[in-house]
Amino acid sequence: AQRVTQPEKLLSVFKGAPVELKCNYSYSGSPELFWYVQYSRQRLQLLLRHISRESIKGFTADLNKGETSFHLKKPFAQEEDSAMYYCALIAQGAQKLVFGQGTRLTINP
Amino acid sequence: DTAVSQTPKYLVTQMGNDKSIKCEQNLGHDTMYWYKQDSKKFLKIMFSYNNKELIINETVPNRFSPKSPDKAHLNLHINSLELGDSAVYFCASSRQERNTIYFGEGSWLTVV
């Protein structure tokens, strides 16, 4: 069974500081990994997916198969980045998105 | 131009009642889902339908019955509501051959 672990339930950093939200997964095949963001009382939105290798809103994430990680990073946090962040995985051939527990990121002014 | 829309957004109801949440997507996607986000913000899939056929049912009590009249709609009917059903329910959809899932705004269900 696939599992996604986000070890930090809460993360608080100051504006302008670097941010790293951790995500580890367990899956024996080749997963497809995503980061979703949920701003206060809004829908979940796709932030980025590993196959596109793009940077969205200054965030990047690199899939590290050796460490089975897909950490989300941003060099300089902004107040508008405060939100709930979910790491998610889809197994090969599957259509079920498995979510981590989520990390609530708070950017302090 | 809302992609995935669900109604109602907020629903407060008494225990034992039966209620429905409707979902529609205008993205032309083949697959639709219901996810539940509990009070601890855990997100878990409940159901998935592909072209009106049920493909995922994640051990959800049979008080929950999804209905897909066509591939653009997936409604969730809940019988005999219980306090523990209080949560945010998210509808979502995706194209079959691509894995990006698009979510609705959520329906906040409170059972009192």
Q: For the segment B46-56, what is each residue's pLDDT rounded down to a tens digit? A: 999 888 888 88
- Which residues from chain B sit within 8 angstroms of residue A42, using beta carbons? 105
CB A97 within 8 A of CB A90: yes
Highest-confidence range of A43-57, A62-76, B55-69, by mean pLDDT?
A: A62-76
Q: A43 and B101 in contact by Cβ < 8 A?
A: no
Among B4, B45, B104, whose Cβ lies nearest the Cβ of A97?
B45
Instruction: List strand residue ranges (DSSP E) for B1-112, in order.
Output: 4-7, 10-13, 19-25, 31-37, 43-50, 53-57, 64-70, 73-78, 87-94, 102-103, 107-111
- Mean residue pLDDT of chain A comes to 91
pLDDT of residue A56: 83
Residue B1 has what pLDDT? 59
Could you tell me if A2 and A98 are in contact, meaning their C-beta atoms sit under 8 angstroms apart?
yes
Q: Contact at 8 Å (CB) between A47 and A85?
A: yes
Mean pLDDT of chain B: 91
Q: What angle do CA B34, B57, B21 make, to 5 degrees?
A: 30
Q: Is B48's Cβ below 8 Å from some Cβ in A? A: yes
Read off the pLDDT of each residue in B2-28 and give the average, rounded to a whole number: 95
Confidence (pLDDT) at B60: 83
% of chain A surpassing 90 pLDDT: 66
Q: How many CA atoms lie within 13 A of A9 on its CB side?
A: 3
Of A34, A44, A96, the CB nearest to B56: A96
Smallest Cβ–Cβ distance between B41 and the set A42, A90, A102 belongs to: A102
- Contact between B100 and A34 using a beta-carbon 8 Å cutoff: yes
Q: What is the mean pLDDT of residues B62-80?
A: 94
Using an 8 Å CB-CB cutoff, list chain B residues near A11. none
Q: Report how far apart the first and last C-alpha atoms of chain A are (Å, whole number).
A: 41
Q: Indicate if the pLDDT at residue A37 is higher than 60.
A: yes
Residue B11 phi, psi (nearest 5): -150, 120
- Cβ neighbours of B45 in A, within 8 Å: 96-98
Cβ-defined contact of A96 to B45 (cutoff 8 Å): yes
Interface of A with B (CB under 8 A): 32, 34, 36, 42-46, 49, 84, 86, 90, 95-99, 101-102, 104
CA-nearest of A27, A28, A13, A29 to A72 is A13
Residue A48's Cβ-side half-sphere holds a number of Cα atoms within 13 Å equal to 19
pLDDT surpassing 70 at residue B57? yes
If DSSP codes are grouped into helix, strand and coil, which group holds residue A18? Answer: coil
Mean pLDDT, residues A52-77 taken together: 90
pLDDT (0 to 100) of residue A80 = 95
Q: Is the pLDDT of residue B97 over 60?
A: no
Would you say A77 and A19 are in contact if contact means Cβ atoms under 8 Å apart?
yes
Give the chain A residue nearest B31 (alpha carbons): A95
Alpha carbons B54 and B67: distance in angstroms, whole number: 9
CB atoms < 10 A from the CB of B39, how many?
9
Predicted local confidence at residue A50, as pLDDT: 85
